[in-house]
Amino acid sequence: MVEAGQTRKRKRRTQSAPTVADVARLAGVSPMTVSRVINRETAVMDATRDKVREAIRALDYVPNSAARSLAGGRQSRIALLHSNPSASYLSEFLVGTLQEAGASDAQLVVEHCAAPESAEALAARLDAHRVDAVLLPPPLCDDPALLAVLQARGLPMVQIATGRAVDFAHAVTIDDERAAYAMTRHLIDRGHERIAFITGDTNQTVSSLRLEGYRRALREAGRALAPDLVVEGDFTYRSGLAAAETLLALALPPTAIFASNDDMAAAASAVAHRHGLDVPRQVTIVGYDDTPIATTVWPELTTIRQPIQDMARRGTQLLIAAIEAKRLGRAASVHHECLDFELVLRESDGDRPHD
Amino acid sequence: MVEAGQTRKRKRRTQSAPTVADVARLAGVSPMTVSRVINRETAVMDATRDKVREAIRALDYVPNSAARSLAGGRQSRIALLHSNPSASYLSEFLVGTLQEAGASDAQLVVEHCAAPESAEALAARLDAHRVDAVLLPPPLCDDPALLAVLQARGLPMVQIATGRAVDFAHAVTIDDERAAYAMTRHLIDRGHERIAFITGDTNQTVSSLRLEGYRRALREAGRALAPDLVVEGDFTYRSGLAAAETLLALALPPTAIFASNDDMAAAASAVAHRHGLDVPRQVTIVGYDDTPIATTVWPELTTIRQPIQDMARRGTQLLIAAIEAKRLGRAASVHHECLDFELVLRESDGDRPHD
DNA sequence: GTCCGTGTAGTTAGCGCTAACATTGCCGAC
DNA sequence: GTCGGCAATGTTAGCGCTAACTACACGGAC
């Protein structure tokens, strides 16, 4: 049997999706030009660029990301460190991060940080994974030991939703003080006189910002700050239960309760019902964060929505840019960004009841 | 000018992490042998393997995943399709999937399925992303149109926690009937006579399985099935509120309420409190799923834990295997696996109250 | 001994892309 | 003109790894 002559060996390449070479052939240019078009480089004539774009569309070409990161010498691995048990926060966060990471074909590694672990041990785990940068959602974003260790390793990092942005890390936040101010202002505008506040865990930096926003709104409205209307909570449902009991047992109970998160607001709502009070007809209850529990309980909670996905996306972008800058030896300038919150009006707030 | 001979050009390679070549040099073998050790191939002598392992450890070598998937011609992209608004489910799921995908350097794309979108439109989106296989958490895993379209495209897929596994898809489930049976059995063992059941959304396949488990337990215990003790819900908090009101308004109210998910159990708990009933002293309330709300509300709910992360991990494994099999032209056998659930005892269940 | 089979290793040639350099053509400056 | 400079494109050589082949040693069958 004689060989067919042609296809003597041609190794591998059985599957075949279109490659740059295919596109180049169809467009009548070199593969390099195709690459330039894909990477939006400038030195390509408009006519050429259009031809290539056309060919890409015709072949339904999608670049091979493995080849890109191999050839380009850039493959970034971003770690998402979390200790936060709030699953809803995490999933929003993950979705945002994955979108952005997918677009820049960066790899994401999710690492859970148990409390007792030393920051050094954690950093060692990151090294083992060859991590290039780190995403820090709350409350980890405020852990000084962790921040220090990461800084010492020269890893770019971004604090998400921190109340205390450090100067060596990127940060993407919302303005918690202003958000709490806006919510309190909203309650004032609905006619409420006695507005109570349930604080968050005093160890988290955002807690004091939220309290401060509440205070400023009252101050600016010329209201007295009744100390008995500010009760300490720690972000748990249970603490919300206790705080609401305290508030509703007052001789002159509040007509509105602003809880520093939705879990505590949900608890307050449960306590109000237990006291035979209708929400919002007899007492207004509002929360913060817009976690799933806000729409689970009835009545659904009026609350502050943080753009978690957007924050995650933006944080990831910053990290990818930082990795690139570092690779090029450029000094990375640190960005602190503040995104907009949203006041979400649902069913749990109403006008001040007529006495 | 004569060339210096040696370092004439040597392009690129500035960064340098250790490569197979470095390991090979140190171990005194060829790069191919190193590759064999990494990929656990058999044709390597133990002595050689140990040398290579030693060198890997010494250099702290980590294979370059981009190069691996490029050279190996295998790069899998797995889509996670979700319509489920339950963020907590999603985040557990994502963490499990990411772990497994990271280990096999598969890429994960998360696609949200809005309800009105046609299955075809969705499949087109998958094509655009060059997706190789699809993960289907509930309730999408039971969408016949979607399943059909994916099957037509020949995409491997896995139904997670479905109540109705189809024969052309992999499936990873828990035994909902048996779990509901176990929970009901537990309530019987605590002495309860009048055990109520709040059903889930009747459109989801798991709902009837859970009801069936409840029924079987009562039957086997020789109890009558009181029809007034089974109330329809639809998995929402609000439906749980209504169902619990109905149940507690009965002339002979139940001493235990088994809700088909935690949201409804939390609602039932709120209603019980509103009725001045202590949980669990006067009425026992148990849920299902072990979502975060189970540990948020007080008292914390006794519930059934599904191993969501494990299911996601296993499902991902099955898909990666299926993609590999397909690539090799082997017919993929379909796997249906059933993982263990766990009965999580917390604070919301107690013995039958003494009349 | 020759032969073949088998188990262990090494060689070669890409996977699909892009960095770095090379080339071409065109324009204005001298 | 011719030369430098620039802008648009092409060429070459890998990125780090592994598929597919080759090479060789050993060992038993004939």
Instruction: Examine the domain organization and report whether B247 and B278 are in the same domain.
Output: yes
Q: What is the mean pLDDT of chain B?
A: 90
pLDDT of A6 strictly over 60: no
Instruction: Examine the domain organization and report whether A327 and A259 are in the same domain.
Output: no
Instruction: Examine the domain organization and report whether A183 and A281 are in the same domain.
Output: yes
Give, rounded to a whole angstrom, the gap between the first and last alpha carbons of chain B. 107
**Which nucleotides of strand D lie within 7 A of protein CB?**
7-20
**CB-CB under 8 Å, A274 with B87:** no
Neighbours of A87 (CB within 10 A): 22
Query: What is the per-residue pLDDT across B44-64, written as a single tens digit (0 to 9) for each?
Result: 899 999 999 999 999 999 999
Query: What is the per-residue pLDDT across A24-74, written as a single tens digit (0 to 9) for each?
Result: 999 999 999 999 999 887 788 999 999 999 999 999 999 999 999 999 888
CB B225 within 8 A of CB B255: no
Within a domain: residue A15?
Answer: no
CA distance B150 to B152: 5
Within a domain: residue A25?
Answer: yes
Name the residue range of residue B45's domain.
20-63
Instruction: Examine the domain organization and report whether B205 and B157 are in the same domain.
Output: no
Per-residue pLDDT of chain B (355 residues; tens, 9 = 90+): 333 333 334 566 565 789 999 999 999 999 999 999 999 878 889 999 999 999 999 999 999 999 999 998 888 999 999 987 667 788 889 999 999 998 888 999 999 887 777 888 888 888 888 899 999 998 899 899 999 999 999 999 999 999 899 999 999 999 999 999 999 999 999 999 999 999 999 988 899 999 999 999 999 999 999 999 999 999 989 999 999 999 999 999 999 999 999 999 999 999 999 899 999 999 999 999 998 889 888 899 999 999 999 999 999 999 999 998 888 777 778 999 999 999 999 999 989 887 6
> Mean pLDDT across the stretch A306-319?
95
Mutate to test the interface with A, among B105, B296, B308, B347 (most CBs of A within 10 A): B296
Distance from the B29 Cα atom to the nearest Cα atom in chain A, whole angstroms: 24
CA distance A241 to A349: 19
Instruction: Examine the domain organization and report whether B190 and B281 are in the same domain.
Output: yes
Within a domain: residue A32?
Answer: yes
**CB-CB under 8 Å, A292 with B88:** yes
Query: What is the per-residue pLDDT across A171-194, written as a single tens digit (0 to 9) for each?
Result: 999 999 999 999 999 999 999 999
**CB-CB under 8 Å, A298 with B238:** yes
Within a domain: residue B353?
Answer: no
Instruction: Examine the domain organization and report whether A78 and A51 are in the same domain.
Output: no
**CB-CB under 8 Å, B95 with A90:** yes
Instruction: Examine the domain organization and report whether A183 and A272 are in the same domain.
Output: yes
Instruction: Name the band, by pLDDT with cuts 50, 70 and 90, for residue A355.
Output: low
- The reported pLDDT for the residue numbered B7 is 36
List A residues 226-285 in contact with B (Cβ-Cβ < 8 A).
Answer: 236-238, 241, 263, 266-267, 270, 273-274
Within a domain: residue A279?
Answer: yes
Instruction: Examine the domain organization and report whether A171 and A313 are in the same domain.
Output: yes
DSSP string spanning B86-107? Answer: -HHHHHHHHHHHHHHHHHTT-E
Instruction: Examine the domain organization and report whether A171 and A315 are in the same domain.
Output: yes
Count H helices and E strands in chain A, helices first: 13, 12
Instruction: Examine the domain organization and report whether B180 and B301 are in the same domain.
Output: yes
Instruction: Examine the domain organization and report whether B288 and B205 are in the same domain.
Output: yes
H or E element in which residue B183 lies: helix B176-189
**CB-CB under 8 Å, A94 with B98:** yes
Within a domain: residue A2?
Answer: no
List B residues 36-55 in contact with A (Cβ-Cβ < 8 A).
Answer: none
Query: Cβ contacts (< 8 Å) between B267 and chain A: which residues?
Result: 298
Neighbours of B175 (CB within 10 A): 15
Within a domain: residue B274?
Answer: yes
A62 at interface of B, judged by CB pairs closer than 8 A: yes
Question: Can you give the CATH number for the domain in which B117 is found?
Answer: 3.40.50.2300
| Domain boundary pick from B63, B90, B120 | B63
Within a domain: residue A266?
Answer: yes
Cα-based distances in Å from A157 to A166, A309, A310, B355: 11, 17, 17, 61
> Mean pLDDT across the stretch A253-272?
95
Instruction: Examine the domain organization and report whether A83 and A180 are in the same domain.
Output: no
Cα-based distances in Å from B12 to A72, B15, B22, B64: 10, 9, 17, 16
CA distance B261 to A92: 22
Scanning residues 62 through 101 of protein chain A, those with a beta carbon under 7 Å from any atom of strand D turn out to be 67, 70-71, 73
Question: Can you give the CATH number for the domain in which A40 is found?
Answer: 1.10.260.40
Nearest to A67 among B70, B263, B293 (CB): B70
Q: How many domains does chain A have?
A: 3
B90 at interface of A, judged by CB pairs closer than 8 A: yes
Instruction: Name the band, by pLDDT with cuts 50, 70 and 90, for residue A15.
Output: low
